[in-house]
């Protein structure tokens, strides 16, 4: 019982209850809660579900058919057997999302707290504020950046293993934790940044540790094991580079203009950063010691890297042709959240030690940055609230009667801290959810029984679904293959064919140029919306959609059987044998047709096309053209009959060798070449059986890739690239035929030995024994959660949270909700009803935090010695012993 009470009073429990507070609406409403679908859910969650299902049905596979014609299964941001894929095979996607959101808050807040206090020697009260800031910043960010928000905890566990003094249970828990964080992370978002930042932190802030060599060696060992874990992904992505759709255009005007533009980009990034006011008030302290100047350099480094590699930067010209351009190094800006919080709270700890509040001129400059840099009222508040929380947190830690902050009573300081923190959390939530496709889970998942029935039909014979003015993840969440989707990697030939389908929409040269260079998504009807950050799952077209917006013969030829649309498509019913309207399920307790009901319902028109081609069909003739562009030009003028009779090949296909016998040009009135049907289909193997009357080709509308091989009646046969993107197998002899198409990637399969080695290396850390300071008991004990300065009078923090909730609700209702008048599809009513709960929950959490560890706040210093390798001019005064 005493152990349980100690656990409940620990900092671990404090950050867990914080996660409950920040996810309060999701916990209360479940699948009816609204979340931002941007990037993580719209790209990855439907694939988690499909990958998990395919894995349990077929075992480990090498080809994944559900990404725009298919891609190698490991040429993505995670392997098919990633932990989220396994969980999504039996958990509802909204439950998986809720668990991940809770994990993000706990891991980010607790990890930053431990990094500040254990690794950097910051006072524990300051570290709690730093952890709180970090998880508030990440509560409205993408959960897929796992080893960005989990990076602090990753560093701390590595540090503890290097320092030693852990009992066997402690070593095993940390080794297993490193493995778990690694397995749910995305290597392409991690490897360009995390290993280098980890090593820099060790060398810059812990270089005088007696176990430094062991620590550096362990950093190399851990990241080597991480690379080994994902060798199949890394190898498969490298092999797939020649086939990806991305191009990297660079507009270069010269060296001096490029450098001048870089300066403007850097100035703009700093001026547009919501944390600029905090940087201003912390700047005098950040330049005062060598240790803090190092922190300042680290704070600015991710911003500089982002400015160098952002798509519009001309300095990218200096890296043209290098692999760096393919690494999306602009994502370095996500690591700015780590370095900024580290720098801010190292500075705050120094100000606390000196009992110094920022001087008036710096406060005036910060106020100017708030007032002038925000632009709109909500942007001003997004800068004001974090600045106010930072200064109020410092005021709580300072003695009473000292300076401007010291004149405030303890209750007033706690109230201000709660007000600004709750206000920041609510404004950040409003900004993120209001601008990044905020949707209730129930609006997408299991909202249309008709789509579930279509998915069961697809299980019998594969086909694709095209989505008009509705985001493809609505269909993907039911396991359906879609014409297009959002994602990081597509097959470039598939995109070329999709361009031919969408060509009627690309009326101007700038539209064609945009489609060629834009890589974020391939959508069926969003060519008029060119931004990567789409804020709605539905699109209201400028004019009614018609069947002439697409090349219907090419669409049917690529195995598209259903079209989903938010409104009727003029002329399409003549080509469909079924037109069904699905109103979608609204909110059960809401009046039918009301605004709240409309925020949950998603009306869809469902068309089933009559002449859709099967996944594999016979073409009686082949036409060989000189280039892919020539094939493209010919495809754009084809009819449905000519697409059925003829397949178009390009001499750019290496498999089209000289001397290969192909059937000649199509003849009017020629007899059917025969019949063939798909008998079995798994991700890596397709089997067709039938009978052919004359030489012809089997056309399979899966993406062509060198890993596909074919046999015809047991004999090897070439796999040609047909109609720019797909597959064709020549069938030379009349009679019964059995065609097997198999995808193999032997090198990727063998590379799983490296994955096993990586697992053994990480788990092997649990066996490692090393001496070190602290001892097992001291290292393993639970640290009580610290109080923050003078205890607040009862309910002051709850009052602060309530004031913030009332302030936010009033301003949101007056200036956002009433002015909108229902003109947008954003979840404004949902935000108005649920966001104040966040302010109240955060105020209540702060009230609980200040009561967890009453007593002398000076006794809450870090449990380990401060790092001595920082070169801090303040000398021994900055050590834990001096603080004690």
Q: What is the DSSP string of 54-115?
A: HHHHH-S-SEETTSTT-EETTSSSS-TT-HHHHHHTTS-HHHHHHHHHHHHHHHHHHHHHHI
What confidence category does residue 36 fall into, taking pLDDT thresholds of 50, 70 and 90? confident
Question: What CA–CA distance (Å, rounded) separates 34 from 443?
Answer: 9
Residue 650 forms beta bridges with which residues? 625
Residue 371 pLDDT level (bands cut at 50, 70, 90): confident
Neighbour-count burial of 86, counting CB atoms closer than 10 A to its CB (0-12 exposed, 13-18 middle, 19+ buried): middle
723: which 2 tokens?
Answer: 């109609």
Q: Which of 75, 319, 332 is nearest to 191 (CA)?
A: 332
- DSSP H helices in 206-287: 212-229, 231-240, 255-271, 276-286
pLDDT at position 243, please? Answer: 92
Distance between CA atoms of 98 and 233, rounded to whole angstroms?
27
Tens-digit pLDDT profile for residues 585-615 = 877 776 676 767 777 888 999 999 999 999 9
Q: Could you tell me the pTM of the whole model?
A: 0.91
Task: Identify the CA nearest to 795 among candidates 411, 424, 528.
Answer: 411
pLDDT at 862: 39
Q: What is the pLDDT of residues 263-320, one digit of tens each?
A: 999 999 998 889 999 999 999 999 999 999 999 999 999 999 999 999 889 999 898 8
DSSP state of 116: I
List pLDDT tens digits, range 411-456: 888 899 999 999 999 999 988 887 788 888 888 888 889 999 999 9
Instruction: Note the Cα 632 to chain centre separation in Å.
Output: 34
Which three-class secondary structure state does DSSP give residue 418? helix
Contact 864, 775 (CB under 8 A): no
Could you give the CA distance from residue 800 to residue 8 in angstroms, rounded to a whole number?
25
Greater confidence (221 vs 356) lies with 221
CA atoms within 13 A of residue 612's CA, in its CB half-sphere:
23
pLDDT in tens, 98-138: 999 999 999 999 999 999 999 999 999 899 999 999 999 98
pLDDT at 249 over 50: yes
Question: Each residue of 636-652: pLDDT tens digit?
Answer: 999 999 999 999 999 99
**Model confidence over 789-824: pLDDT tens digits?**
555 566 788 899 999 999 999 999 888 888 765 555
pLDDT in tens, 52-95: 999 999 999 999 999 999 999 999 888 999 999 999 989 998 99
Q: Which residue do the tokens 């934790």 mark?
A: 177
> Which residues share a beta bridge with 717?
710
- Given a cut of 80, whether residue 785 has pLDDT beyond it is no
Judge whether 521 and 486 are in contact, CB under 8 Å: yes
* pLDDT for 824: 56
- What's the CA angle centered on 70, arms 68 and 72, to 5 degrees? 135
Closest CA to 414 of 787, 12, 20: 787
In 3D space, the residue among 642, 646, 566, 640 whose CA is nearest the CA of residue 609 turns out to be 640
Burial class (CB in 10 A: 0-12, 13-18, 19+), 789: buried
Neighbours of 826 (CB within 10 A): 20
For the segment 162-183, the average pLDDT, to the nearest whole number, is: 92
DSSP character at residue 538: B
Task: Give Cα 98 distance to the centre of its chain.
Answer: 15
* Nearest Cα to Cα of residue 566 among 589, 537, 591, 599: 537
In the prediction, which pLDDT does 402 show?
57
Round to whole Å and give the CA distance between 226 and 230: 7
> What is the rounded CA–CA span in Å between residue 736 and residue 438?
54
What's the mean per-residue pLDDT of the chain?
Answer: 86
**Sheet of 616-619, strand order:** 616-619, 696-700, 726-731, 720-722, 646-650, 621-625
d(CA 546, CA 443) in angstroms, rounded, equals 26
pLDDT value, residue 873: 42
CA angle 413, 417, 420 (to 5 degrees): 135
How far is Cα 427 from Cα 839, in angstroms, rounded to an integer?
Answer: 10
Residue 794: predicted pLDDT: 63
What the block records as the tokens of 404 is: 């401007």
Torsion of CA 864, 867, 868, 872, to 10 degrees: -130
Give me the pLDDT at residue 857, please: 39
Q: Residue 38: pLDDT band by 50, 70, 90 thresholds?
A: confident
499-505 LR contacts (CB < 8 Å, sep 24+): 499/632, 500/551, 500/554, 500/632, 500/635, 500/636, 500/724, 501/550, 501/551, 501/554, 501/555, 501/558, 502/527, 502/550, 502/551, 503/551, 503/636, 504/548, 504/549, 504/550, 504/551, 505/549, 505/550
The dihedral through the CA atoms of 785, 791, 795, 796 has a sign that is: negative
pLDDT at position 369 over 60 = yes
pLDDT of residue 111: 96
pLDDT given for residue 297 in this prediction: 95
What's the pLDDT score for residue 641? 92
What pLDDT was estimated at residue 854?
A: 34
Length of the chain: 884
How confident is residue 625, by pLDDT bands cut at 50, 70 and 90?
Answer: very high
> Does the pLDDT at position 870 exceed 60?
no
Phi, psi (rounded to 5 degrees) for 697: -130, 140
Residue 679 has pLDDT above 90, yes or no: yes
HSE-CB at 850 with a 13 A cutoff on CA atoms is 26
Phi first, then psi, for residue 716 (nearest 5°) are -60, 145
Cβ(76)–Cβ(64) below 8 Å:
yes
- Residue 297: which H helix or E strand, with range? helix 290-309
Please give the DSSP secondary-structure letter assigned to residue 736: E
> Per-residue pLDDT tens for 329-359?
888 989 999 999 999 999 999 999 998 889 9
Q: pLDDT at position 159, please?
A: 96
Which phi and psi angles does 800 have, rounded to 5°? -65, -45
CB 124 within 8 A of CB 167: no
- Chain-centroid distance, C-alpha 136: 17
Query: Percent of the chain, pLDDT > 90?
Result: 60
DSSP category for residue 815: I
3-state secondary structure of 670: coil
Task: List the end-to-end C-alpha distance of the chain, in Å, as a whole number.
Answer: 31
Which tokens belong to 691?
């009978």
Sort strands 464-468 and 560-565 into parallel, antiparallel or unpaired: parallel
Q: Residue 606 in contact with residue 542, Cβ under 8 Å?
A: no
Query: Regarding predicted confidence, which is higher, 77 or 492?
Result: 492
Q: Is the pLDDT of residue 874 over 60?
A: no
> What confidence score (pLDDT) does residue 530 get?
52
Confidence of residue 770 (pLDDT cuts 50, 70, 90): low
The predicted structure's pLDDT at residue 512? 82
């Amino acid at each position: 019982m005493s152990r349980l009470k100690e656990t409940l009073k620990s900092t671990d429990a404090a950050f867990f209850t914080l996660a409950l507070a920040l996810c309060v609406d999701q916990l209360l409403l479940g699948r009816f809660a609204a979340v931002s679908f941007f990037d993580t859910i719209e790209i990855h969650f439907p694939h988690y579900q499909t990958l998990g299902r395919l894995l349990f049905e077929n075992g480990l596979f090498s080809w994944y058919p559900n990404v725009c014609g298919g891609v190698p299964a490991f040429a993505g941001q995670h392997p098919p057997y990633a932990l989220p894929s396994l969980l999504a095979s039996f958990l509802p996607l909204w439950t998986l999302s809720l668990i991940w959101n809770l994990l993000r808050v706990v891991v980010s807040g607790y990890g930053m707290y431990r990094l500040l206090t254990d690794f950097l020697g910051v006072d524990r009260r300051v570290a709690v504020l730093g952890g709180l800031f970090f998880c508030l910043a990440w509560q409205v960010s993408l959960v897929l950046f796992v080893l960005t928000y989990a990076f602090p905890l990753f560093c701390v566990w590595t540090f503890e293993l290097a320092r030693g003094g852990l009992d066997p249970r402690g070593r095993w828990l940390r080794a297993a934790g490193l493995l778990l964080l690694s397995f749910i992370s995305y290597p392409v978002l991690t490897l360009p940044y995390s290993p280098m930042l980890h090593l820099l932190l060790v060398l810059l802030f812990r270089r005088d540790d007696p176990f430094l060599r062991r620590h550096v060696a362990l950093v190399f060992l851990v990241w080597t094991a991480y690379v080994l874990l994902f060798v199949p992904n890394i190898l498969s992505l490298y092999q797939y580079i020649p086939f990806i759709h991305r191009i990297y255009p660079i507009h270069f005007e010269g060296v001096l203009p490029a450098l001048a533009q870089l300066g403007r980009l850097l100035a703009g990034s700093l001026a547009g950063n919501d944390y600029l006011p905090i940087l201003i008030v912390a700047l005098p302290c950040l330049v005062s010691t060598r240790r803090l100047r190092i922190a300042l350099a680290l704070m600015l480094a991710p911003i500089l890297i982002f400015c160098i590699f952002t798509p519009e930067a001309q300095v990218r010209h200096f890296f043209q042709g290098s692999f760096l351009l393919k690494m999306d190094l602009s994502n370095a800006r996500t690591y700015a959240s780590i370095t900024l919080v580290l720098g801010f709270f190292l500075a705050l700890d120094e100000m606390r030690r000196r009992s110094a509040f920022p001087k008036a001129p710096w406060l005036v400059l910060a106020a100017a940055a708030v007032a002038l840099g925000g632009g709109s009222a909500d942007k001003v508040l997004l800068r004001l609230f974090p600045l106010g929380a930072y200064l109020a947190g410092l005021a709580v830690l300072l003695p009473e009667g000292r300076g401007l902050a010291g004149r405030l009573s303890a209750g007033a300081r706690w109230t201000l801290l709660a007000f600004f923190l709750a206000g920041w959390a609510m404004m950040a939530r409003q900004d993120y959810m209001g601008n990044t496709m905020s949707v209730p889970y129930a609006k997408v998942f299991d909202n249309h029984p008709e789509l579930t029935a279509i998915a069961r039909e697809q299980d019998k014979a594969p086909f694709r679904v095209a989505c008009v003015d509705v985001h493809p993840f609505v269909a993907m969440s039911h396991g359906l293959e879609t014409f297009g989707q959002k994602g990081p990697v597509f097959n470039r030939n598939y995109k070329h064919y999709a361009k031919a389908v969408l060509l009627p929409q690309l009326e101007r040269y700038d539209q064609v140029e945009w489609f060629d260079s834009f890589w974020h998504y391939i959508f069926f009807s969003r060519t008029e919306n060119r931004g990567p950050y789409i804020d709605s799952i539905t699109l209201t077209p400028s004019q009614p959609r018609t069947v002439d917006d697409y090349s219907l013969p090419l669409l049917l030829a690529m195995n598209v059987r259903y079209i989903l649309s938010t409104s009727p498509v003029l002329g399409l019913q003549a080509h469909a044998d079924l037109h069904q309207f699905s109103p979608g399920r609204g909110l059960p307790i809401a009046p039918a047709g009301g605004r709240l009901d409309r925020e949950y319902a998603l009306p869809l028109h469902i068309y089933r096309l009559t002449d859709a081609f099967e996944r594999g069909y016979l073409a009686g003739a082949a036409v060989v053209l000189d280039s892919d562009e020539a094939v493209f030009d010919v495809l754009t003028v084809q009819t449905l009959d000519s697409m059925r009779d003829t397949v178009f090949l390009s001499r750019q296909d290496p498999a089209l060798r000289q001397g290969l016998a192909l059937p000649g040009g199509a003849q009017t009135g020629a007899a059917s070449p025969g019949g063939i049907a798909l008998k079995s289909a798994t991700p890596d193997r397709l089997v067709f059986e039938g009978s052919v009357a004359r030489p012809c080709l089997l056309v399979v509308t899966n993406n062509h890739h060198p890993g596909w091989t074919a046999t015809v009646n047991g004999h090897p046969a070439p796999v040609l690239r047909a109609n720019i993107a797909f597959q064709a197998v020549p069938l030379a002899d009349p009679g019964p035929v059995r065609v097997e198409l198999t995808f193999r990637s032997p090198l990727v399969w063998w590379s799983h030995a490296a994955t096993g080695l990586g697992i053994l290396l990480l788990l092997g850390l649990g066996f490692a024994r090393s001496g070190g300071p602290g001892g097992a008991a001291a290292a393993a004990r639970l640290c009580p959660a610290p109080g923050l300065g003078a205890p607040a009078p009862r309910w002051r923090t709850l009052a602060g949270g309530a004031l913030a909730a009332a302030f936010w609700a009033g301003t949101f209702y007056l200036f956002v909700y009433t002015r909108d008048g229902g003109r947008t599809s954003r979840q404004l009513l949902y935000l108005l009803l649920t966001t104040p709960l966040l302010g109240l929950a955060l105020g209540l959490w702060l009230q609980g935090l200040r009561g967890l560890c009453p007593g002398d706040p000076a006794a809450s210093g870090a449990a380990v010695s401060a790092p001595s390798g920082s070169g801090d001019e303040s000398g021994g005064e900055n050590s834990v012993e001096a603080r004690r």
